[in-house]
Amino acid sequence: MKKGFIFMITVIVFLIIMLTVFYTYEVYKVSMDDNAVEKRVLSMNDYIKDLEVDVERAAYIAGFRTLLSIEEYVSETGEFMTNLETNFQEAFYSGNLSNTTPFMLENSTFSLYLQKINQNSKKIGVQVDINISEINLLQTDPWNVQIDVVSKVTLNDTRGLADWSFEKTYTTNIPISNFKDPLYSVYLKGRLQNFIVKTDITDFVDNNQTSALMSHIEDGLYKASNKAPSYLMRLRGNLSNSTYGVEGLIDINLLENQEDLEVNYDRSVVDYIYFGNQSTNNRCDVQNMPNWFKIDTEHINDYEINELSYLNCT
């Protein structure tokens, strides 16, 4: 009887110990699993931040190369890009521009960058899917073009510990500085090119001296103007005005030195007016300016011509 009681007590103690060990193990196991999930969530959250930087960098590179390719297309064909948004979207994403793949876009399309991002993410156990719904090309200020890539992003941990799904618009801005002015490429038949460079001149006329104004013209510089077309409008051949417009002044002397290039001496030297067909009231014989210099009345104050003497053109 006594031995049986001792045996029963021993069994009970043993069972209690086993249950305690098992429970402790399960609690430890759950704790370890929770820690693993927490660490994975934190690491993937950091990865999402890095992903945003990578995608925006890819959008900048692909966007810059696409604009360069469109610039060259306009320059080589002498035709404006009338379907600019559609052509940009196709070239940006897949490298197709008018049924060709420009040299600048070989192995540099946005879709290829996304593939590289996914390949690299797999090395750290993350599956990334970025589905693009929109690619928008915008002029948001005179000197920059904005690209918005609207997408749905899905990230999955390959071990099934965590996943994300969200909508995201990736945005990048590309300066237009040193891009070719499409108006020169088309209207001057490629004989002369002019690159868009922002002027730092603020006083065009000083005490009747026009040296700053002449430097502005001879250097082919540009200033912001809400009377002028934006860079994207220039690519389309649209010469109407924009809040984000830029304009330059034509150096007629350069045109005169080109063989077989017709010079229109009756037009204002403001570029989009010179190349366009709008009627303007012009001023001639401007003090301390070349004989070929004519400017419309809408721009007299903009270039401080009002500080000089001049005559109405007849």
pLDDT digits (tens, 9 = 90+) for 202-213: 999 999 999 999
Q: Indicate if 106 and 56 belong to the same structural domain.
A: yes
Model confidence at 310: pLDDT above 70: yes
3-state secondary structure of 230: coil
Could you give the CA distance from residue 43 to residue 175 in angstroms, rounded to a whole number? 34
Q: Indicate if 81 and 120 belong to the same structural domain.
A: yes
Give residue 27's pLDDT: 40
Range of the domain at 36: 2-175
Under DSSP, the state recorded for 163 is E
Model confidence at 194: pLDDT above 60: yes
Give residue 49's pLDDT: 76
Could you give the CA distance from residue 288 to residue 210 in angstroms, rounded to a whole number? 6
Residue 48 burial (10 A CB sphere; 0-12, 13-18, 19+): middle
- The candidate with the shortest Cα–Cα distance to 293, out of 256, 260, 266, is 266
Model confidence at 52: pLDDT above 70: yes
Q: What are the distances in angstroms from CA 193 to CA 51, 180, 197, 221? A: 39, 7, 13, 12
The mean pLDDT value for 292-297 works out to 98
Q: Indicate if 74 and 148 belong to the same structural domain.
A: yes
Pairing of strands 282-284, 311-312: antiparallel
Give residue 2's pLDDT: 54
Give residue 290's pLDDT: 97
Q: CB–CB of 135/149 below 8 Å? A: yes
Could you give the CA distance from residue 50 to residue 48 in angstroms, rounded to a whole number? 5
- Indicate the pTM of the whole model: 0.84
Q: Indicate if 38 and 166 belong to the same structural domain.
A: yes
The full DSSP string for 285-300 is: S-TTS-TT--EEGGGT
Q: Indicate if 148 and 206 belong to the same structural domain.
A: no
Model confidence at 272: pLDDT above 70: yes
Q: Indicate if 151 and 195 belong to the same structural domain.
A: no
Q: Indicate if 19 and 42 belong to the same structural domain.
A: yes
Q: Indicate if 167 and 190 belong to the same structural domain.
A: no
Q: Indicate if 153 and 199 belong to the same structural domain.
A: no
Give residue 150's pLDDT: 97
Locate 86 and state its tokens: 């559609």
Residue at which a domain ends, from 158, 175, 192: 175
Residue at which a domain ends, from 175, 205, 236: 175
Pairing of strands 222-224, 246-248: antiparallel
Q: Indicate if 220 and 158 belong to the same structural domain.
A: no
Number of structural domains (the chain) is: 2
- The candidate with the shortest Cα–Cα distance to 183, out of 197, 198, 195, is 195
The predicted-structure confidence for 111-165, as pLDDT tens digits, reads as follows: 999 999 888 878 777 888 999 999 999 999 999 999 999 999 988 877 777 778 8
Could you give the CA distance from residue 19 to residue 142 in angstroms, rounded to a whole number? 74
Residue at which a domain ends, from 152, 175, 198: 175
Instruction: Calculate the dihedral angle through the C-alpha atoms of 182, 184, 190, 193, rounding to the nearest 10 degrees.
Output: -100
Give residue 22's pLDDT: 47
